[in-house]
């Protein structure tokens, strides 16, 4: 530390000398600019953003800004004069157009429309994800350039100062009391090297909280039975063990220390000199309980006493600029952030808004104020930001990282992030942990998925045991919740958890071993909660039909154990607690629940009759086939009939249980088949609200738009021009004379009249024809009435009624036509009068 | 109903008929065989069907106590009788008989389905206890009073009712009436009661029903209030301070006291009595408060004791049950192994090992039980001491207050005596202004009479107070001794039960083992 301090002081002294010698300073600056320029010019990014598109505020300074720059320059000169051994402040760097801009005006408070960006952690993680870092060059000086947040968003890259400016703008917009901080930090932070840190996703293992034994000593609690062990021996033993433990612990600590020493990076020669910029959020706004720092590069928050931050030069927000006057020799731990305290924080602008009242008017400030506006005593306020509003598109939010993906190296871990829908299998995050520091031997791989059609959310592969655990969202077939397996083939070791409330059988978990299967249930009406099945070896049957599918032959069941919860509606001695079907031994054991105040349950053992193969046939039964034990010797022995009926019932149960087990095995096979099929063709689910990606929705929308278009066209066509045929005959349809107009009108009316008359005539003719035909038919009927057959007569009658109907309809139509014709005529006349083309001439 | 049963000889419900019916309707095939060998007990029969048998009189059914379903339809039964013992009956069919009166059903409280279809009943009655009734069939009878249906309101579970074929069905508003008065009914006369009918019924009989409902609510409230009062009184009884929260003691003191009534006519006595009463009542109230508070404390103490002892017993039981379950599982395993074992030497070692295991289990179970007995004995002793202290304290306080009562009475007596003597003097001087009834005036013939009267009154009062005190103390003492005895008895009973249980099990296991030994040795030899 001593050495570092010395360097810092030397550096500061050098700076002070530079200040005195202005020529040297200029030269130095010029030299630095030459050095910096190539680093800043980013070949592909720079081309993307057209500088000429920038608004004028980017390229010029307003009078107010010029005034501000003058104030800043004055401040800088005085500061350099008074504190020659401190580093120059970052006050007015150049923006992307090469114009000097004050840092505070580069902040553009913006509230973004995304709810995610309303909280500080959302903003921080967005900024850290969205930008990629350009390290400062040299790392010990603040940059000469500070690009606007809009530029940074477009190019997707920036220095830590630009990160902070963007983040601070977002936070200020969201209502936080945020400040950009220019200062010094450790190397790992400046270079965004997180490989020494624990991955936050891994986190400390969740400690199982030992449920506190509610050892409430009641008045009549029984005393524990007397302990007959020797207290002395116990103590000696304890002491021996404690010693052994202490030695072990010491060894462990030793090892730990050695390991840590090995891991520790070599000491940094520039410790305490590396310039960094981060964000300070002060308490009391947006319910922030206490001050904290945000490192914009990693997006993490730190307490203000964190050891990573080594010192602060200055801080600023969109309203003012403060220089730190506190001692930073021991880091930032003892700093206070009461910006109203002029002893600790030297401000640039007097009485800027948002500050606590200044109690000690500063000499320098007074001078300034007097200089600026002596008469008016009006304080100078920070001019508005020259930066355009910050716009973040939906696309940007989704893509997040540049190119949609990002890799972060942590200690013994690698974290990969992907934008949703970027990868075909829906992977969004992958965390690989390694067993060594060089990250060569991976131990576990944990993957998170989104929008998967098979509802897969998380998959964890343990490389050491080769066990894979998959977690699913609710909504899958068979209500699968998680699946833990080594191999996907059936009848191997696996564990499946289910969403039991979504299943009719209330299954919670099914654990399989090569020859065992255990199922646990919940909330079943028959109180079953546990079933354990032991399988025997598959009997090999060498028949041609079984060769193709050996799996189809079911494994023989050796033993089934089923346990039941207590059914309060039955007395305990009749409520079965456990039944064991020893299939291979042809025995059934039934155990009942414990009665009150009992420690030994009653049980019954049955031996199945030998001829039990056919359940239809009545079974022979003898007293020896059932044995009963009951602790109460006064219990009446139950009757043979009851035992026989129970045996029959149990044998039936055995059959149903065997069926259930087969169903379970079938289900496992079905799940495995479905999983394999899903994994081989992964589909992503696209929400119907996702307009950008949902192909069908887009097609539908486009089709609708097309339909609407067509409808509009049709509407237009409908408006027929009844004058068109007449106008077409004219030479000059645009200019009508009165005469022509009158003629048009009369033509039109005549035409309509003609059509109406024609129509009436047509109807009249049809009417007459029908009448005539009917008459003829009637005459014919009169004549041949006597010789007619029944069918003919029916036909005639049917014809007559048809004809009468037709005649009647025609008559009605004719009369209504006659009624309406004059009206139609008049209405046409009216419309012609109103027609804009004829109106002038006719009225 | 115009059945010509006269032409047929009515058959008698005798043992033969019942036996036959039971055998016919019992289990069949193999089960039937077994049942026959074993014989069927009438008290285990659950269902019995005796229809179309021309039975005139129900008889001999008293043995069938677990019967849940009984069919006696299509007989010529005239009177419902002989069903009193069938208390488990849920389903009773008496349709197509010649019954005229509903009776003899009061003990069948579990009855859910009752059919009296096609009989000659004219009044719905005598079914007050059948509160579980769900289905009731009363069709084809002789009901003439529509109001009689209101009787069915008491059956809160009634959902299906059949009244078809009765004279009342011919009345205009029959259906609406029934729907109105039985709002919970779902099916009436083979059909669903639809919403429309219900609405009509509601419109028509709204006021009548409202009133009836109001009355019913009032009754229910009255019953509840009475019950609450009884509970309260029971609480006071439990606290041994009943009738102390008011002037009851005072009233009882003066109830049997003839002299006091006379003395109250003396000048100044009413005022004196008033103050005496208020003071006494205050003391009584004090006692009452103390009693209730002590009762609460005792209850807490009891609860705490019972909780703790139950916890201890449960914990012990769990441990024992676990060890037994483990042992039993292992034993079964070993037994089945031994069944298959062939090497006699191995078998022998296994048998011996098994025997050791049994002894070990027996020891451990017994040890646990002994431990528990010790532990419980300790806390019972503690509890007895505490509760006795508590009760003694209570009795002491109460006795103190009773002593105050007596002092008060003595004081009152002195005052009264003074007044009496003064009055006597006045009477002697004939200075008394007030008129007195003659019997009171009779007291003042001489000094002895007056003093005797006053003393008699005083003695009565003291006696009452003493009685009350004695009653309280006796009851407290008997309660405490009963409590302690019951706790001890319970513990003894529990202990015996457990010991018997363990012995029983161990014996069983040993028997099994020796059986196995014999069997195997027999085979090997």
| pLDDT band of A595, cuts 50, 70, 90 | confident
Global ipTM? 0.76
Q: Give the pLDDT confidence of B17-53 residue by residue, as tens digits.
A: 888 888 888 777 777 777 777 777 788 888 888 888 8
Identify the closest residue of chain B to A633 by CA–CA distance: B504
More confident of the two residues B255 and A551: B255
Would you call A229 an interface residue with chain B, using a CB distance cutoff of 8 Å? no
Q: Is the pLDDT of residue B67 over 50?
A: yes
Q: Number of C-alpha atoms within 13 angstroms, CB side, residue A106?
A: 33
Cα radius of gyration (chain A): 47
For B30, which of A218, A619, A639 is closest by C-beta distance? A619
For residue B431, pLDDT beyond 80: no
Is residue A793 within 8 angstroms of chain B, CB to CB? no
Q: Considering only CB atoms, which chain B residues are within 8 Å of A644?
A: 30-31, 34
Residue in B504, B509, B513 to test binding to A, most A beta-carbons within 10 Å: B504
Interface size, chain A vs chain B, as Cβ–Cβ contacts under 8 Å: 89
What sign has the CA pseudo-torsion A156, A160, A162, A166?
Answer: positive
Establish if A217 touches chain B: CB-CB under 8 angstroms.
Answer: no
The reported pLDDT for the residue numbered A694 is 74
Query: Residue B231 pLDDT more than 50?
Result: yes
Find the helix packing angle between B29-38 and A640-680, rounded to 10°. 150
Q: Residue written as tokens 């990969």? A: A416
Nearest to A127 by CA among A329, A378, A397, A450: A397
Band the pLDDT of A541: cuts 50, 70, 90: low
Chain B contact probe: residue of A599, A612, A646, A651 with most B CBs at under 10 A: A599
Of A585, A589, A641, the CB nearest to B34: A641
pLDDT of residue A203: 63
Contact (CB, 8 A) for B246 and B240: no
Question: Cis ω on the peptide bond leading into residue A138 (within 30° of 0)?
Answer: yes
Bridge partner residues of A448 (DSSP): A429, A458
- Mean pLDDT score of chain B: 86
Interface of B with A in 439-498 (CB under 8 A): 494, 497-498
Q: Pick the closest to residue A54 from A166, A158, A170, A151 (CA basis).
A: A151
* pLDDT score of A211 more than 70: no
pLDDT at B345: 82
Instruction: Inspect the interface and report whether the beta carbons of B371 and A225 lie closer than 8 Å.
Output: yes
Split at pLDDT 50, 70, 90, the class of A552 is low
Instruction: Write down the pLDDT at residue A363.
Output: 46
* Residue A279 confidence (pLDDT): 92
pLDDT tens digits, one per residue of B310-328: 988 999 999 999 999 999 9
Over the stretch B438-483, which tens digit does the pLDDT of each residue have? 777 777 777 888 888 888 888 888 898 899 889 989 999 999 999 9
Per-residue pLDDT at A696 exceeds 70? yes
Q: Residues A503, A479: contact at Cβ < 8 Å?
A: yes
* 8 Å CB contact between B70 and B45: no
- Chain A residues in contact with B320 by the CB 8 A cut-off are 599
Top residue of B41, B299, B300, B325 to mutate, by most chain A CBs within 10 Å, is B325
Residues of A in contact with B30 (CB under 8 A): 618-621, 644
The pLDDT assigned to B239 comes to: 84
A635 at the B interface (CB within 8 A)?
Answer: no
Chain B (242-301) residues lying within 8 Å, Cβ to Cβ, of chain A: 301
Q: Could you give the C-alpha distances from B29 to A73, A616, A639, A645, in angstroms and in order?
A: 114, 11, 17, 12
Considering CB atoms only, which of B305, B374, B508 is closest to A220?
B305
- DSSP H helical segments within A426-504, as ranges? none
Rounded to the nearest integer, the mean pLDDT of chain A is 80
User: Model confidence at A215, in pLDDT bands (50, 70, 90)?
Assistant: low
B160 alpha-carbon distance from chain centroid: 31
Cβ-contact B49, B71 below 8 angstroms: yes
Cα–Cα distance between B388 and A249 in angstroms, integer?
Answer: 57
Closest CA relative to residue A155, chosen from A94, A100, A96, A240: A96
pLDDT at res. A30? 52
Residue B46 touches partner A, C-beta closer than 8 Å: no
Place of tokens 């769900």: B134
Query: What are the pLDDT digits (tens) for A773-799?
Result: 999 988 888 888 878 788 888 888 898
Question: Could A222 and B34 be called an inter-chain contact, meaning their C-beta atoms sit closer than 8 Å?
Answer: no
pLDDT at position A754: 92
Cα distance between residue B348 and residue A146, in whole Å: 95
Whether residue A4 is predicted with pLDDT greater than 70 in this model: the reply is no
Nearest CB to A621; choose among B27, B34, B497: B34
Does any CB of chain B come closer than 8 Å to the CB of residue A228?
A: no
> Under an 8 A CB cutoff, do B308 and A594 touch?
no
Give yes or no for B31 touching A (CB within 8 A). yes
The residue behind tokens 């389905």 is B113
pLDDT given for residue A495 in this prediction = 93
pLDDT of residue A45: 43
B202 vs B177: CA distance, rounded Å: 9
Q: Do A645 and B304 touch (CB under 8 A)?
A: no
Is B504 close to A223, i.e. CB distance below 8 A?
no
DSSP letter, residue A92:
S
- Residues in A closer than 8 angstroms to B371, CB to CB, are 225
Structure tokens at A654: 């055995």
- Chain B residue with the nearest C-alpha to that of A593: B321
Chain A residues touching B307 at Cβ < 8 A: 218, 220
Share of chain B above pLDDT 90, in %: 28
Determine contact, residues A369/A91, Cβ cutoff 8 Å. no
Report d(CA A317, CA A282) in Å as an integer.
Answer: 12
The residue behind tokens 């057209």 is: A50
Q: Is A640 within 8 Å of B311 when comparing Cβ atoms?
A: no
Q: What is the mean pLDDT of residues B253-262?
A: 78
Cβ-Cβ contacts under 8 Å for A458 (sequence gap 6 or more): A446, A447, A448, A449, A469, A470, A471
Q: Which residues in chain A have Cβ-Cβ distances shorter than 8 Å to B382?
A: 220
Reported confidence tier of residue A375, pLDDT bands at 50, 70, 90: very low
C-alpha to C-alpha distance for B32 and A578, rounded to whole angstroms: 29
**Tell me: the pLDDT tens digits for A123-182?**
998 888 888 888 888 888 888 888 888 888 888 888 899 999 999 999 999 999 999 999
The two tokens of residue B295 are 């009762």
Q: Does B42 touch chain A (CB under 8 A)?
A: no
Tens of pLDDT along A171-208?
A: 999 999 999 999 888 888 888 887 777 777 776 555 44
Return the closest-CA partner of residue A117 out of A391, A389, A403, A420. Answer: A391
B324 and A599 within 8 Å at the Cβ level: the answer is: yes
Residue A405 C-alpha, separation from nearest chain B C-alpha, in angstroms? 57
b (16+ CB within 10 A) / e for B401-411: bbebbeebbee
User: CA A406 to CA A130: how far, in whole Å?
Assistant: 9
Start-to-end CA span in chain B (Å): 79
Taking CB atoms and an 8 Å limit, are A599 and B312 in contact across chains? no
Contact of A53 with chain B, judged by CB distance below 8 Å, is answered with: no
Predicted pLDDT of residue A3: 41
pLDDT at residue A271 tops 50: yes
A383 in Cβ contact with A352 (< 8 Å)? no
CB contact under 8 Å between B31 and A223, yes or no, is no
- pLDDT tens digits for range B498-511: 999 999 999 988 98
The residue to which tokens 């078809």 are assigned: B164
Question: Are the CB atoms for A415 and A96 separated by under 8 Å?
Answer: no
B384-427, pLDDT tens digit by residue? 999 999 999 999 999 999 999 999 889 988 988 888 888 888 87
pLDDT digits (tens, 9 = 90+) for A797-842: 898 899 999 999 999 999 999 898 889 888 888 888 877 777 777 6
**Minimum-distance CB partner of B31 among A219, A629, A645:** A645
SS3 (DSSP) at A688: coil
pLDDT tops 80 at residue A690: no
Q: What is the DSSP string of B306-349?
A: HHHHHHHHHHHHHHHHHHHHHHHHHHHHHHHHHHH---HHHHHH
Place of tokens 């009061």: B106
Buried-exposed string B86-99: b where 16+ CB fall within 10 A, e elsewhere: bebbbbbbbbbbbb
Of B336, B365, B504, the CB nearest to A631: B504
Q: Which of A218, A601, A618 is nearest residue B304 as measured by Cβ atoms?
A: A218
Q: In terms of DSSP bridges, do strands A405-410 and A413-418 run parallel, antiparallel, or are they unpaired? A: antiparallel
CB contact under 8 A, A222 and B382: no
Percentage of chain B modeled with pLDDT above 70: 97
Report the relative pairing of strands A275-282 and A442-449 from DSSP bridges: unpaired
Q: What average pLDDT score do residues A681-707 get?
A: 81
Question: Pick from A352, A385, A345: which is nearest to A368 by CA?
Answer: A352
Tell whether B309 is within 8 A of chain A (Cβ): yes
CA distance B391 to B477: 8
Cβ separation of A594 and B383 shorter than 8 Å?
no
Q: What does the pLDDT read at residue B228?
A: 95
What spatial distance separates the first Cα and last Cα of chain A, rounded to whole Å? Answer: 106
CB contact under 8 A, A599 and B501: yes
Q: Residue B378's closest chain A neighbor by CA?
A: A222
Q: How confident is the model over A497-532, as pLDDT tens digits?
A: 999 898 888 999 999 988 899 999 998 988 999 999
Residue of A nearest to B375 (CA): A222
**Contact between A640 and B34 using a beta-carbon 8 Å cutoff:** yes
According to DSSP, the residues that pair with A497 across neighbouring strands are A482, A509
Q: CA of A645: which chain B residue's CA is closest?
A: B31
* Contact between chains at B324 and A600 (C-beta distance less than 8 A): yes
């Amino acid at each position: 530390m001593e050495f570092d301090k010395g360097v810092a002081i030397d550096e500061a002294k050098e700076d002070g000398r530079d200040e005195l010698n202005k020529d040297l300073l200029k030269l130095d600056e010029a030299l630095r600019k030459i050095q910096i320029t190539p680093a800043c010019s980013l070949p592909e990014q720079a081309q993307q953003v057209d500088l000429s598109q920038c608004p004028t505020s980017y390229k010029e300074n307003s009078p107010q800004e010029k005034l501000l720059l003058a104030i800043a320059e004055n401040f800088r000169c005085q500061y350099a004069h008074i504190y020659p051994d401190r580093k120059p402040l970052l006050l007015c760097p150049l923006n992307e157009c090469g114009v000097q801009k004050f840092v505070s005006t580069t902040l553009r408070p913006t509230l973004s429309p995304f709810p995610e960006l309303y909280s500080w952690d959302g903003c921080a993680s967005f900024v850290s994800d969205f930008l990629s870092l350009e390290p400062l060059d040299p790392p010990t000086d603040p940059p000469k350039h500070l690009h606007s947040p809009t530029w940074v968003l477009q190019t997707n890259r920036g220095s830590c100062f630009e990160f902070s400016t963007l983040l601070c703008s977002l936070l200020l917009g969201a209502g936080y009391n945020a400040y950009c901080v220019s200062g010094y930090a450790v190397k790992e932070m400046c270079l965004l090297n997180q490989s020494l840190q624990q991955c936050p996703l891994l986190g400390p293992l969740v400690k199982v909280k030992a449920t506190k034994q509610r050892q409430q000593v009641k008045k009549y609690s029984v005393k524990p039975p007397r302990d007959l062990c020797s207290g002395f021996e116990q103590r000696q033993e304890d002491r021996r063990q404690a010693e052994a433990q202490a030695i072990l612990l010491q060894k462990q600590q030793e090892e730990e220390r050695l390991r840590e020493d090995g891991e520790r990076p070599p000491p940094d020669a520039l410790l305490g000199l590396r310039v960094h910029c981060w964000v300070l959020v002060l308490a009391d706004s947006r319910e922030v309980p206490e001050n904290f720092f945000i490192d914009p590069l990693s997006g993490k928050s730190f307490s203000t006493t964190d050891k990573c931050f080594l010192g602060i030069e200055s801080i600023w927000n969109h309203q003012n600029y403060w220089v730190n006057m506190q001692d930073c020799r021991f880091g930032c731990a003892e700093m206070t952030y009461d910006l109203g305290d002029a002893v600790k924080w030297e401000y640039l602008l007097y009485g800027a808004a948002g500050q606590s009242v200044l109690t000690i008017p500063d000499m320098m400030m007074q001078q300034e104020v007097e200089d600026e506006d002596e008469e008016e005593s009006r304080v100078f306020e920070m001019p508005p930001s020259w930066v355009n509003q910050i716009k973040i598109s939906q696309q940007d939010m989704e893509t997040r990282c540049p190119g949609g993906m990002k890799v972060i190296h942590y200690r013994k871990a690698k974290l990969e992030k992907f934008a949703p829908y970027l990868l075909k299998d829906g992977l969004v995050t992958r965390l690989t942990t390694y067993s060594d520091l060089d990250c060569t031997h991976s131990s576990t791989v944990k993957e998170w998925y989104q929008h998967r059609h098979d509802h897969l959310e998380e998959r964890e592969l343990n490389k050491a045991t080769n066990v894979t655990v998959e977690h699913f969202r609710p909504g899958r077939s068979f209500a699968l919740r998680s699946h833990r397996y080594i191999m996907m083939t059936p009848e191997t070791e696996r564990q499946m958890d289910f969403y039991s409330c979504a299943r009719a059988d209330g299954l919670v978990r099914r654990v399989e071993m090569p020859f065992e299967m255990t199922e646990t249930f919940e909330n079943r009406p028959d109180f079953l909660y546990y079933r354990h099945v032991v399988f025997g070896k598959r009997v090999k049957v060498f028949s041609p039909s079984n060769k193709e599918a050996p799996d189809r032959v079911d494994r023989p069941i050796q033993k089934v154990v089923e346990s039941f919860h207590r059914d309060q509606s039955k007395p305990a001695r009749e409520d079965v607690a456990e039944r064991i079907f020893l299939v291979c031994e042809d025995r059934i054991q039934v155990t009942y629940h414990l009665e009150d105040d009992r420690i030994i349950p009653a049980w019954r053992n049955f031996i199945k009759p030998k001829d039990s193969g056919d359940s239809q046939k009545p079974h022979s039964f003898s007293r020896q086939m059932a044995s009963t034990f009951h602790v109460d010797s006064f219990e009446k022995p139950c009757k043979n009939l009851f035992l026989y009926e129970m045996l029959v019932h149990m044998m039936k149960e055995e059959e149903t249980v065997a069926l259930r087990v087969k169903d379970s095995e079938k289900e496992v096979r079905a799940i495995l088949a479905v999983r394999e099929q899903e994994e081989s063709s992964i589909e992503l689910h696209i929400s119907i609200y996702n307009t950008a990606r949902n192909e069908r929705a887009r097609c539908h929308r486009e089709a609708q738009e097309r339909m609407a278009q067509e409808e509009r066209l049709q509407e237009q066509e409908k408006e027929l021009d009844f004058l068109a045929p007449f106008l077409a005959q004219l030479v000059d349809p645009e200019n009508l004379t009165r005469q022509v107009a009158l003629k048009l009108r009369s033509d039109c009316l005549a035409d309509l009249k003609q059509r109406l008359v024609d129509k009436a005539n047509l109807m009249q003719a049809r009417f007459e024809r029908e009448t005539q035909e009917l008459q003829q038919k009637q005459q014919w009927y009169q004549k041949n009435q006597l010789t007619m057959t029944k069918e003919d007569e029916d036909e005639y009658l049917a014809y007559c009624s048809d004809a009468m109907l037709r005649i009647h309809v025609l008559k009605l139509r004719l009369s209504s036509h006659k009624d309406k014709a004059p009206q139609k005529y008049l209405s046409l006349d009216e419309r012609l009068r109103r027609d804009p083309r004829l109106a002038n001439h006719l009225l | 109903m115009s059945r010509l049963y006269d032409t047929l000889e009515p058959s008698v419900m005798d043992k033969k008929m019942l036996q036959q019916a039971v055998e016919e309707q019992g289990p069949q095939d193999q089960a039937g065989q077994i049942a026959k060998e074993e014989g069927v007990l009438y008290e285990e029969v659950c269902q019995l069907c005796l229809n179309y048998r021309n039975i005139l009189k129900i008889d001999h059914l008293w043995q069938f106590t677990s019967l849940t379903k009984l069919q006696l339809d299509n007989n010529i039964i005239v009177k419902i009788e002989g069903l009193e013992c069938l208390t488990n009956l849920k389903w009773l069919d008496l349709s197509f008989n010649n019954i005229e009166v509903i009776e003899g059903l009061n003990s069948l409280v579990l009855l859910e389905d009752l059919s009296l279809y096609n009989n000659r009943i004219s009044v719905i009655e005598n079914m007050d206890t059948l509160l579980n009734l769900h289905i009731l069939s009363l069709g084809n009878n002789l009901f003439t009073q529509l109001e009689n249906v209101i009787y069915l309101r008491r059956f809160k579970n009634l959902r299906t009712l059949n009244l078809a074929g009765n004279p009342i069905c011919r009345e205009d508003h029959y259906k609406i009436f029934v729907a109105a008065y039985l709002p919970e009914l779902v099916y009436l006369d083979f059909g669903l009661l639809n919403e429309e009918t219900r609405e009509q019924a509601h419109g028509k009989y709204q006021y009548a029903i409202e009133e009836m409902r109001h009355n019913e609510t009032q009754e229910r409230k009255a019953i509840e209030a009475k019950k609450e009062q009884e509970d309260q009184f029971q609480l006071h009884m439990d606290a041994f301070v009943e009738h102390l929260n008011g002037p009851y003691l005072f009233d009882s003191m003066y109830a049997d006291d003839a002299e006091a009534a006379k003395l109250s006519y003396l000048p100044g006595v009413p005022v004196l009595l008033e103050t005496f009463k208020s003071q006494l009542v205050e003391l009584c109230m004090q006692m009452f408060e103390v009693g209730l508070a002590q009762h609460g404390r005792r209850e807490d103490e009891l609860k705490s004791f019972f909780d703790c002892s139950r916890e201890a017993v449960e914990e012990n039981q769990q441990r024992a049950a676990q060890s037994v379950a483990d042992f039993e599982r292992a034993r079964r395993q070993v037994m089945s192994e031994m069944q298959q074992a062939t090497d006699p030497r191995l078998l022998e070692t296994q048998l011996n090992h098994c025997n050791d295991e049994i002894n070990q289990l027996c020891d451990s179970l017994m040890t646990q039980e002994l431990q528990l007995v010790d532990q419980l004995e300790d806390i019972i002793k503690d509890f007895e001491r505490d509760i006795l202290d508590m009760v003694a304290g209570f009795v002491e306080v109460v006795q103190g207050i009773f002593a105050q009562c007596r002092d008060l009475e003595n004081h009152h007596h002195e005052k009264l005596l003074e007044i009496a003597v003064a009055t006597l003097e006045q009477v002697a001087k004939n200075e008394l202004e007030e008129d007195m009834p003659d019997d009171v005036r009779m007291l003042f013939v001489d000094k002895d009479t007056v003093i005797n009267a006053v003393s008699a009154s005083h003695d009565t009062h003291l006696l009452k107070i003493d009685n009350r005190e004695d009653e309280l103390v006796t009851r407290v003492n008997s309660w405490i001794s009963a409590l302690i005895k019951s706790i001890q008895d319970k513990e003894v009973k529990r202990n015996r039960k457990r010991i018997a249980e363990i012995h029983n099990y161990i014996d069983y296991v040993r028997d099994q083992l020796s059986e196995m030994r014999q069997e195997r040795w027999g085979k090997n030899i």
